Amino acid sequence: MELRHLRYFVAVAEELNLTRAAARLRVAQPALSRQMKDLETELETQLLERGRNGVQLTRGGKVFYQRARVILNNAANAANEARTAAGVIAGRLVIGFPSGLHLDHLAPVIKEFRRVHPKVEFDYQHYWQAEQLKALRTGTIDVGFIYLPTELNGLDHEVIWRLPVQVALPGSHPLARKADFRLADLRTEDFVFCTRESRPECYDEFFRRCANAGFHPRVVKEVGGYPTNILGLIALGIGVSVLPRFERIEGIRNLVWRPLVTPRLWVDFALAWRHDNASRVVTEFVATAVKRLGVATTERE
């Protein structure tokens, strides 16, 4: 058994589809299928149940997947440590991101890191928040770009971006002339907000804050996906909302932003990584991001 057999199997186990796994590995699907059958023959154990809609792991396959991930991580860490001992940082860094806006924010960090460590190979995977957290824990990605608060069991993080929460409302709204808002000023308004499934922590925090302000928000439309989906509906006059203000997506017609002064709220964005994956590549990348973009501790309080 060779490491490539483990890499092939891990890709199949994570994709649960031979076509996608073959594309990820850049190998032909028939060759990948043969490698999986050869591996099962060598182990004398069925690892995969093949069906018309893909593959599933057997009980033995699930156990073997966990061990294979550990072996591959250990092999990668050993290689990186050997290079580091020789004064060279090399390896592969897979970054999870929710949108191009977040990658744009990371662009100067990636550029600087590449300049200093040209032998590190980058890859990028698009995931929403829950998918990123799962991908971090399974080792599919090394670093994730996430928003806080969220459940981070087994993960470390560093805050690198802070955005103020403001009131977004149609430019034609009677309250659009107000200079700033208390949350209680919106007690009679219709709200457009995210679905709980897309951002459970933000959803629950919003309702808690409204309760503290003495009212229950009348949410007339919930929408998932990127915040621009909410902003588009606000611009149509469907309702108002309270959101972090992404200045780089300005330009939506009939939309105005106003400061929320009571309570003052922020949304923190952070890089997260597995606590047991403190490889030199990860630690150096996070250190570069904190140096370039990090939010000071005093600003977080």
Over residues 1-11, the pLDDT tens digits come to 888 899 999 99
Over residues 201-232, the pLDDT tens digits come to 889 999 999 999 999 999 999 998 778 889 99
Q: What are phi and psi of 249, to 5 degrees?
A: -115, 25
Over residues 114-162, the pLDDT tens digits come to 999 998 999 999 888 888 999 998 888 999 999 888 888 889 999 998 8
The H helix count followed by the E strand count for the chain is: 10, 12
Q: Which amino acid is at 216?
A: H
Residue 71 CA neighbour count, 13 Å, CB half: 15
Q: Please say if the pLDDT value at position 239 is more than 90.
A: yes
Sign of CA pseudo-dihedral 168, 171, 175, 180: positive
* Token representation of residue 15: 């994709």
Q: Which whole-number Å values give the CA distances from 105 to 94, 117, 270, 294, in the listed order? A: 16, 20, 12, 12
Place of tokens 């993080």: 157
Q: Which whole-number Å values give the CA distances from 42 to 5, 31, 34, 36, 47, in the listed order? A: 11, 16, 12, 10, 11
pLDDT score recorded for residue 287: 93
The pTM (predicted TM-score) of the whole model is: 0.63
8 Å CB contact between 169 and 195: no
Q: Please say if the pLDDT value at position 94 is more than 90.
A: yes
Q: Domains in the chain, start-ordered, CATH in brackets?
A: 1-88 (1.10.10.10), 161-267 (3.40.190.10)
Q: Which of 118, 107, 81 minimizes the C-alpha distance to 283?
A: 81
pLDDT score recorded for residue 249: 60
